[in-house]
Amino acid sequence: MNRLRALLGLQLPLIQAGMGGVAGIRLCTEVSRAGAGGTLALYKEPPDRIREAVREIAAATSRPFGVNIIPEVTSPELCRAQLDAALGELPDNGYVTTFGLPGADAARDVTRTGRPLVVQIGTPDDASAALRLGADVLVLQGTEAGGHLLGELPVAELLYAVRTRHPDAVIAVAGGVATG
Ligand SMILES: Cc1cc2nc3c(=O)[nH]c(=O)nc-3n(C[C@H](O)[C@H](O)[C@H](O)COP(=O)(O)O)c2cc1C
């Protein structure tokens, strides 16, 4: 079985992007029900709303889903408060995705619960840093991607560079992917 599917417990090797203001309860729930990785965007949401939202998704699907944090748009304190709220409600089969590198404390908050940590990065050096922080899955974002960019390499070049450095890493790619 594909290692991404096995690690996240998915039927399809696809993770929906957390998208602040776009990827809410309904999208996350339906993607998860369809067998891929539904993801709730936490963006700058306050902890109370996060608790309610995660609870609502968990009540609607028993399939795995995740929550997405963006460390660069939150203070370290809000980031950890968001994680604390989400992890308190997230089922055991849930996971956490980050846009960019999480702080060491935030990464530890996730990994010590035993839930997978999925880190999206855009450079080979950040891929290595993410693995040192305990990332279970790397999402490599190429310059084809919509939204804010994390690096300067097209996805094929980034994949080649990271796969060469880290032959055993579990890797997904992001950016203009429209077909199998
Ligand atoms: C409207 C929009 C909002 C986004 N917001 C987030 C976000 O909140 N968190 C995150 O991890 N990634 C976010 N992303 C980036 C995606 O994770 C991913 O890198 C990108 O969508 C891949 O490019 P593609 O949509 O062309 O496949 C966003 C992307 C878009 C298009």
Containing 138, the helix (H) or strand (E) segment is: strand 137-141
| Residue 1 burial class via C-beta count within 10 angstroms: exposed 0-12, middle 13-18, buried 19 and up | exposed
On the question of pLDDT at 95 being above 90, the answer is: yes
DSSP state at residue 18: P
CATH architecture of structural domain 3-174: Alpha-Beta Barrel (3.20)
Domain spans in the chain, listed from the N-terminal domain onward: 3-174
| 21-35 residue pLDDT tens | 899 999 999 999 999
Atom from ligand 1 closest to the CA of residue 100 = 11
> Which residue, by CA, sits nearest to atom 5 of ligand 1?
19
CA of 109 to the centre of ligand 1 (A): 23
**In this predicted structure, what is the pLDDT of residue 157?**
97
| 134-174 residue pLDDT tens | 999 999 999 999 889 999 999 999 999 999 999 999 999 99
Give me the mean pLDDT over the 104-127 stretch. Answer: 98
Ligand 1 within 6 A of CB of 149: no
Ligand 1 within 6 A of CB of 175: yes
**In this predicted structure, what is the pLDDT of residue 180?**
72
DSSP state at residue 130: H
Contact between 139 and 127 under an 8 Å Cβ cutoff? The reply is: no
Compute the mean pLDDT over every residue in the chain, rounded to the nearest whole number.
96
**In this predicted structure, what is the pLDDT of residue 77?**
95
